[in-house]
Chain A
Amino acid sequence: AQSVTQPDARVTVSEGASLQLRCKYSYSGTPYLFWYVQYPRQGLQLLLKYYSGDPVVQGVNGFEAEFSKSNSSFHLRKASVHWSDSAVYFCVLRTVNMGYKLTFGTGTSLLVDP
């Protein structure tokens, strides 16, 4: 069965610092991977997605993620965070088996100290 693990429930960084949020997946097929962000009192919004090709994908607001098949990972990065990046970030795996299925990680809550 497929699964997504986000090992860090909470991350705190200072404004201007770099960021990495970790995501590990388990799936025997070809993974399609997404990062969604949930700002306070809002629904989730797509940050970026990876289907194939260049393992480094760019997203909105300066975010990028790197896919690694050997490590079964899809880590999210940002070079310099802003206080407005404080939110919950979800890693999501799309699999195919008798139809499409999305599996969400448990989320990482990011707090950026101003």
Chain B
Amino acid sequence: EAAVTQSPRNKVTVTGGNVTLSCRQTNSHNYMYWYRQDTGHGLRLIHYSYGAGNLQIGDVPDGYKATRTTQEDFFLLLELASPSQTSLYFCASSDMGGAETLYFGSGTRLTVL
């Protein structure tokens, strides 16, 4: 079974702060995704990638950058964090781009004060 590991588990920063969320997956999945989960919204796609060096824009990309450095590693960057970005962030991976079964990490809870 694919494993997706996120770090940190929890993060607190101040408005205007710089935050990097990390995600690593095993099993060499091609696709990786960043979602945010907010009450009343379900999960919303921020960015995704289908391979090292590739980046695709999701549905709620404003205020976020992402980088896929290797097949395994996908990072989400908040360069000027705002309170509206307080959320639970999930990374996921899948083998194919047809949104076949997604494998999720355990999430990073980010609080922006």
Which A positions have Cβ atoms within 8 angstroms of B?
A: 4, 36, 41-46, 49, 90, 94, 99-102, 104-107
Is B74 in the interface zone, CB < 8 Å from A?
no
Q: Would you call A43 and B106 a contact (CB within 8 A)?
A: yes
In chain B, what residue has the closest Cβ to A95?
A: B99
Q: With contacts A90-B43, A106-B40 known, is A43 near B99, CB below 8 A?
A: no
Most buried by B among A41, A44, A46, A106: A44
B42 touches A43 (CB 8 A): no
Nearest A residue to B44, CB-CB: A104
Q: For residues 76 through 99 of chain B, which have their beta carbon under 8 Å from a beta carbon of chain A?
A: 90, 92, 97-99
| A46:B45 contact, CB within 8 angstroms | no
Number of A-B contacts defined by CB within 8 Å: 43
Q: Assess the B90–A100 pair: CB atoms within 8 A.
A: no
Q: Given contacts A43-B92, A90-B42, A106-B41, are A100 and B106 in contact (CB under 8 A)?
A: no
B residues in contact (CB < 8 Å) with A: 4, 40-45, 90, 92, 97-99, 101-107
On chain A, the residues within 8 Å of B101 by CB distance are 46, 49
Given contacts A104-B42, A105-B42, A106-B40, whether A44 and B98 have CB atoms under 8 Å apart is: no
Shortest beta-carbon distance from B95 to chain A in Å: 13
A-B contact list, 25 entries, CB within 8 Å: A36-B102, A41-B106, A43-B104, A43-B106, A44-B43, A44-B90, A45-B104, A46-B101, A49-B101, A90-B42, A90-B43, A94-B99, A99-B97, A100-B98, A101-B99, A102-B45, A102-B102, A104-B42, A104-B43, A104-B44, A105-B42, A106-B40, A106-B41, A106-B42, A107-B42
- Cα distance, A42 to B37, chains bound together (Å): 13
Judge whether A43 and B4 touch: CB under 8 Å.
yes
Interface of A is mostly: strand
Residues of B within 8 A of A104 (CB): 42-44
The reply to whether B102 and A46 form a contact with Cβ atoms under 8 Å apart is yes
